[in-house]
Homo-oligomer: A and B are copies of this chain.
């Protein structure tokens, strides 16, 4: 087996990037040659974390099979969220915290997933299992992943384990988790400098729900008006993505990280609008609906959408 390429999902967020780093480091420590890479450019929040903990940006790759025969997936398992030629390489291992879907292998593999708020909390357990010490900067990046995925412990996806592990990591990294966390989230919530394409699709994932291809994006900000002041441009951009990629619908969730409320924007097949209204018990007006208290795509958006579409 050649060097294992380790990567998170497309449109990488802080967990995807930092988990590739912490898991590749672990693999190298246990004698498995591995390199962390990314399936896209890191965002402003992730760049803040990388800089703070002295790590270079990851090399961006589009294909694996040109350089290796073996990969490790972190923070995802669904093939449509993975590298384009995933079917042409062997999956050595998966470390994840999502539901399992559209994942299949030809051979047995290492697969470890736990229903935690962040992949880093699962990786922390692997460090324990192998009796490995976590270097200071790696601990800081692992902490960054947890803060990002749980919105500093405020998301309903956050478990007691995530909090306990984050506190441990903060000690090793020698930072105050609350102070550092707020700084990091704010660094990622500045939307004024971002292109509309990045706001719309920068953190988007594709889901196949009841046979429909649904794209769900999410953008963090400190005031939803920062995004909605460009609403016309945002809707047009969502429409463009739909047409180019044949999505049946694009749903953008604009999350205020200070209030933990969101607004949803929907563009797509009009026949699907009712499913979105039913899922969130909310009403669309000019493509927009209120999503009070909703911050988690995994726990508060995909499950009710799936139920609405399938039920």
Chain A interface residues toward B at CB < 8 A: 97-116, 125, 128-129, 298, 303, 306
Contact = CB atoms under 8 A, between A and B. Distances in A.
B114 A113 contact: no
Nearest to A108: B115
B102 A113 contact: no
Given A125-B129, A129-B125, A129-B129, A109 B99 contact: yes
A58 B106 CA distance: 32
B106 A113 contact: no
State how many copies of this chain the complex holds.
2
A114 B128 CA distance: 17
19 contacts: A97-B108, A98-B108, A99-B104, A99-B108, A99-B109, A100-B100, A100-B105, A100-B111, A101-B105, A103-B103, A106-B303, A106-B306, A108-B114, A110-B113, A110-B114, A111-B112, A111-B113, A112-B112, A112-B113
Contact of A100 (B97, B109, B112, B298): B109
A303 B105 CA distance: 11
